[in-house]
């Protein structure tokens, strides 16, 4: 009989499951990989910018050496880009790394970590990993963060409240919080409670939605802003993100992060991508056009969807608890991968990443066929 090894709170963790890989769907359904469309993981449909590809080829010549553990050149460029000191920046193996490092740095067993229902799945995972208590606050009627209720939870937990996660825009719902509401929330949170503002989709905000969260970092010593190169910058496969906070927080993260957590190729690609505003604009314009293309089609099909400020749309494909899974399977059989979100408490919905124009069109055609021919959802 094998002895049970490991901590109880670790055994309780359900591992994170990403969007299905193209190769897996090809094997499962006997499909041609080259014809499969993946709209499941909020990746940039343009892929990696050419500038980053060229930087990677150049950096590859020196892969026999360890990467710069402190990423001096990347931090230097980021500091100019953000208007903060380089020592306010912590690099991570994706922004996911920043979220988990922050939880490890400030919370421990029986502390309270607070987040919204229908928010990013990594928040409860990071909470469980440190043995803390997850305090999930009910969402608003529009499936967004209820900041008043979250603040009440912080105050109710009192000194046990060590960390709050806020996503803006939120994944998977796409909901957006007004800047003044976020600022008022941070100002009201006790200084001993750290607030993580997760801005993984920040670059997709409309011009009128944008705000300067770096000003808040300067004002609030308990604020950590996390961002990613995976989405708008097209570097998802290289796993690179970063956090911005005052030095007493970044020093904590640097004590526990792996010394070479961001590899040389990722650092080189990120530097190149930061210097390629044309690619960023092209991706933004494509995303807005794709959002219009998809949402107009959903309206024509009579499907409810949530307004989104990210590069994805959450669409309701039925009224029963099996609707999302059933519709997802029908799409997979047609070689289209989207994201069911039952694990977020939304079993009737699917999250669909915005793709290239032709990818969006293929999805729309498939959805229309499922709705009208198979009658899985009333049109």
Tell me, yes or no, whether 19 and 167 share the same domain: no
Mean per-residue pLDDT for 231-236?
Answer: 98
Those residues whose C-beta lies under 8 Å from the C-beta of residue 148, and which sit 6 or more positions away, are none
For the chain, how long is the longest CA-to-CA vector?
62
Q: Please report whether residue 2 resides in a domain.
A: no
Q: Give the C-alpha separation, 318 to 320, whole Å.
A: 6
The pLDDT score that the predictor gives to residue 19 is 73
The pLDDT score that the predictor gives to residue 378 is 46
- Which of 229, 257, 274 marks a domain boundary? 274
Q: Please report whether residue 186 resides in a domain.
A: yes
- Which of 274, 289, 307 marks a domain boundary? 274
The pLDDT score that the predictor gives to residue 377 is 44
Per-residue pLDDT at 259 exceeds 60: yes
| Domain total in the chain | 2
| Each residue's pLDDT tens digit, 55-74 | 999 999 999 999 999 999 99
The CATH code of the domain that includes 143 is 3.40.640.10
Tell me, yes or no, whether 58 and 174 share the same domain: yes
Estimate to the nearest angstrom the gap between the alpha carbon of 187 and the chain centroid. 24
- Which of 224, 247, 274 marks a domain boundary? 274
In degrees, rounded to 5, the angle at the alpha carbon of residue 81 between the alpha carbons of residues 241 and 56 is 55
Q: Give the C-alpha separation, 178 to 211, whole Å.
A: 9
Helix (H) or strand (E) holding 8: helix 8-11
Buried b / exposed e over 55-67, threshold 16 CB at 10 Å, is bbeebeeeeeeeb
Tell me, yes or no, whether 253 and 122 share the same domain: yes
For the chain, helix, strand, coil in percent to 5 are 45, 15, 40
The CATH code of the domain that includes 335 is 3.90.1150.10
Tell me, yes or no, whether 364 and 335 share the same domain: yes
Residue 36 per-residue DSSP state: -
Tell me, yes or no, whether 57 and 139 share the same domain: yes
Overall size of the chain counted in residues: 379
Mean per-residue pLDDT for 87-102?
Answer: 97
Mean per-residue pLDDT for 136-155?
Answer: 97
Containing domain of residue 67, as a range?
52-274
Q: Give the C-alpha separation, 128 to 11, whole Å.
A: 9
Q: Please report whether residue 196 resides in a domain.
A: yes
Tell me, yes or no, whether 261 and 296 share the same domain: no
Q: Give the C-alpha separation, 151 to 137, whole Å.
A: 10
Tell me, yes or no, whether 308 and 231 share the same domain: no
Per-residue pLDDT at 40 exceeds 70: yes
Tell me, yes or no, whether 90 and 189 share the same domain: yes
Q: Please report whether residue 1 resides in a domain.
A: no
Q: Please report whether residue 379 resides in a domain.
A: no
| CB atoms near residue 210 (< 10 Å) | 11
Q: Please report whether residue 377 resides in a domain.
A: no
Angstrom distances, CA of residue 34 to CA of 25, 122, 316: 11, 31, 28
Per-residue pLDDT at 379 exceeds 50: no
Those residues whose C-beta lies under 8 Å from the C-beta of residue 186, and which sit 6 or more positions away, are 195, 197, 216, 220, 222, 223
Tell me, yes or no, whether 18 and 166 share the same domain: no
pTM: 0.94
Tell me, yes or no, whether 148 and 208 share the same domain: yes
Backbone angles phi, psi at 4, to 5 degrees: -75, 120
In degrees, rounded to 5, the angle at the alpha carbon of residue 74 between the alpha carbons of residues 68 and 75 is 95
Tell me, yes or no, whether 117 and 264 share the same domain: yes
Give the pairing type, strands 37-38 and 346-353: unpaired
Q: Give the C-alpha separation, 105 to 280, whole Å.
A: 33
The pLDDT score that the predictor gives to residue 376 is 45
| Each residue's pLDDT tens digit, 307-361 | 999 999 999 999 999 999 999 999 999 999 999 999 999 999 999 999 999 999 9
The pLDDT score that the predictor gives to residue 372 is 82
Tell me, yes or no, whether 315 and 246 share the same domain: no
Q: Please report whether residue 15 resides in a domain.
A: yes
Backbone angles phi, psi at 355, to 5 degrees: -110, -160
Residue 159 per-residue DSSP state: G
Q: Please report whether residue 92 resides in a domain.
A: yes
């Amino acid at each position: 009989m094998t002895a049970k090894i490991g901590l109880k709170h670790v055994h309780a963790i359900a591992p994170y499951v990403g969007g299905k890989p193209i190769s897996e769907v090809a094997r499962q359904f006997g499909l041609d990989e080259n014809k499969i469309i993946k709209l499941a993981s909020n990746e940039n449909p343009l892929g990696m910018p050419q500038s980053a590809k060229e930087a990677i080829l150049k950096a590859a010549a020196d892969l026999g050496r360890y990467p710069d553990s402190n990423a001096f050149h990347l931090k230097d460029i980021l500091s100019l880009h953000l208007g903060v000191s380089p020592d306010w920046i912590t690099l991570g193996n994706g922004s996911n790394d920043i979220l988990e490092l922050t939880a490890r740095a400030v919370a421990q067993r029986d502390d309270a970590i607070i987040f919204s229902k229908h928010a990013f799945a990594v928040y409860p995972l990071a909470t469980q990993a440190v043995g803390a208590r997850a305090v999930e606050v009910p969402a608003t009627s529009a499936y967004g963060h209820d900041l008043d209720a979250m603040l009440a939870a912080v105050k109710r937990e009192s000194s046990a409240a060590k960390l709050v996660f806020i996503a803006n825009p939120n994944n998977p719902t796409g909901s957006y919080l007004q800047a003044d509401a976020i600022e008022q929330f941070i100002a009201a949170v006790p200084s001993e409670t750290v607030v993580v503002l997760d801005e993984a989709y920040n670059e997709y905000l409309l011009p009128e939605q944008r705000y300067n969260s770096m000003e808040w970092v300067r004002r609030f010593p308990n604020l950590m802003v996390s961002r990613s190169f995976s989405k708008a910058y097209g570097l998802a496969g290289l796993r690179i993100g970063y956090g911005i906070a005052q030095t007493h927080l970044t020093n904590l993260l640097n004590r526990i992060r792996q010394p070479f957590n961001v590899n040389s190729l990722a650092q080189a690609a990120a530097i190149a991508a930061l210097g390629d505003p044309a690619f960023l604009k092209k991706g933004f314009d494509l995303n807005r056009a794709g959002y219009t293309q998809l949402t107009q089609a959903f309206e024509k099909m009579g499907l409810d969807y949530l307004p989104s400020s990210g590069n994805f749309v959450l669409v309701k494909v039925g009224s029963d608890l099996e609707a999302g899974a059933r519709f997802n399977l029908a799409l997979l059989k047609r070689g289209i991968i989207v994201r069911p979100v039952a694990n977020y408490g939304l079993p009737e919905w699917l999250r669909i990443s915005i793709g290239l124009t032709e990818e969006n069109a293929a999805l729309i055609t498939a959805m229309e066929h499922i709705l009208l021919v198979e009658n899985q959802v009333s049109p």
